[in-house]
Structure 1
């Protein structure tokens, strides 16, 4: 009997501390109007000094459990997407596996930056469809404020902290996953990086070691120039067009970027679900946070077809077309 995978529950968490555009006016040369016009961001959530990625991940999972009243004791794999782990090792997945007491669950972190959550969903689908696992937690969680240079006005205004999680389970019919597509343009990796052990990249000394460094124009140009084609390639696999999807859920990097992508991909911008207005760019957490917000607002319905497209550092990208079945 063939195995299928279905997304059966979701959860989210954002810190209580709010950092507004007005707060940035006191830190760098900028303004609320400038930030809103260029990014669409109004405010973002910031972790406390003693609050880390694993804490947010755990709280997002608790939100999932409480909302859907599900038994997580038989979860057999945790896939955790992040670029801000508490430690280099152990993985955040292992840390929360222990905190949840899931003694029979495998655990691994996945680093694909802003594409991490969609990569994680596709890996979960593959593990379940192949019969290796039956119940997988996929988490996207980032404490980006801890690696943000707050003297760099071009990047510090963008990033926020938060976490989102999906539960993916084995089913015998009616799967959530329709098709997917993934890749990377590693030749342009220098456009977005955060250093660790290496002090050099491509023969050049790294700037702002330990913090996010982004060539905003380079990333913007790449995304607007490539994501519409990635959308087309994904949908072509199942003989669908942009008009056939109910919702487009891109990585919430920048509202102006998403508007341009929608225009080029011939997707009505009203179909785009984003989380950046009040949460900022939360990297791997933007997509699950956007879906959480849409569910709370009653915008999405069971059976809706949703195209999720993550893209960012790498420059990695991954898409997955799903049918909502929560």
Structure 2
């Protein structure tokens, strides 16, 4: 027998303010057609003034706890993936802990768009090691606060939101038929640091800075690295692409998502797509998409779910989960 982490429930939260491509046409030199053709994005949610990353995280986590049917007091670990913490320190996860009334420990992790996969891996390993029994894994972002609204190559891409899952440890046979997190696979390549970054920080400019990106190079790396890590995840579990029931990818660009689906020979109706309505919500994108597909009944008990993401660093990873 081995210790596994099964997902008991999930939840999500999106700010009320929806900004469409048409809305952006009046702010920057862009068009709805230009954005849709290159990214598939039609709209995104933007946090209200005074609405913080911790607020989004608490809302998503509360819904995940309700869906799981467990009390916040039974949670002994919170791992929050975010690029947009409320403050430089302490960890935004500790604010979430206080608001929810959980026990144990809470920490932030930073892997940008790959953040949720990294956070899931960390929480899963805490449970496997016996350091936690139940964990909240959250991806939450107010990414709009990092945008240069005069830079049409980046400001049209991103949005705000949060998603969360509740993990619980249990003893399992240790086969690919087990429920829960089957494996996670993480990578980074610091030599590509300058392809996607924020041009500020406490140790450099003393300011928050804005997102800067070499879009073409990021796209090229994304296709190759995500294809490789998807193959790695399947091989580690002795699975073929045909065994995947659902692809829940990071929602950055529809062309990247379509490319991975083609590689897996998955029909489009087996791909959970939210990029058109959410934009790129960084660490929140996978749990937002996951929660949507679970709550509308697409993802069912026993389904094999493949999650993958790449972000600044470059950092990338994949997680294979049996629901």
Task: Determine whether 1:26 maps to 2:26.
Answer: yes
Matches within 5 A, 1:229-308: 229-308=228-307
- State the alpha-carbon separation in 2 of the partners of residues 101 and 290 from structure 1: 26
Aligned residues of 1:274 and 1:287 also touching (Cα < 8 A): no
Matches within 5 A, 1:217-236: 217-236=216-235
CA displacement at 1:3 relative to structure 2: 2.6
Matches within 5 A, 1:113-262: 113-173=112-172, 174-194=178-198, 195-199=200-204, 210-262=209-261
Task: Determine whether 1:41 maps to 2:41.
Answer: yes
- State the alpha-carbon separation in 2 of the partners of residues 109 and 64 from structure 1: 18
- State the alpha-carbon separation in 2 of the partners of residues 220 and 28 from structure 1: 23
Aligned residue pair count:
317
Matches within 5 A, 1:70-85: 70-85=70-85
CA displacement at 1:2 relative to structure 2: 4.0
Normalising by structure 1, report the TM-score: 0.93
User: Could you tell me which residue of structure 1 aligns to residue 310 of structure 2?
Assistant: 311
User: Could you tell me which residue of structure 1 aligns to residue 4 of structure 2?
Assistant: 4
Q: Which runs of 5+ in 2 are unaligned?
A: 173-177
CA displacement at 1:36 relative to structure 2: 1.3
State the SS of the aligned residue for 2:73. coil
State the SS of the aligned residue for 1:225. helix
State the SS of the aligned residue for 1:243. helix
CA displacement at 1:31 relative to structure 2: 1.2
State the SS of the aligned residue for 1:131. coil
Aligned residues of 2:179 and 2:302 also touching (Cα < 8 A): no
- State the alpha-carbon separation in 2 of the partners of residues 3 and 69 from structure 1: 21
- State the alpha-carbon separation in 1 of the partners of residues 22 and 93 from structure 2: 36
Aligned residues of 1:246 and 1:306 also touching (Cα < 8 A): yes
State the SS of the aligned residue for 1:172. strand
Q: Deviations over 1:285-309 (max 9, x none)?
A: 1101111121233222111001111
State the SS of the aligned residue for 2:135. strand
Aligned residues of 1:229 and 1:265 also touching (Cα < 8 A): no
Task: Determine whether 1:107 maps to 2:106.
Answer: yes
- State the alpha-carbon separation in 1 of the partners of residues 2 and 290 from structure 2: 29
CA displacement at 1:67 relative to structure 2: 3.2
CA displacement at 1:209 relative to structure 2: 6.5
**Aligned-residue CA RMSD in angstroms?**
1.8
State the SS of the aligned residue for 1:73. helix
Residues 190 and 236 (structure 1), Cα distance of their counterparts in 2 relative to 1, 3 Å cut: same
State the SS of the aligned residue for 1:57. helix
Normalising by structure 2, report the TM-score: 0.94
CA displacement at 1:198 relative to structure 2: 4.2
> 170-179 or 299-308, which moves further after superposition?
170-179
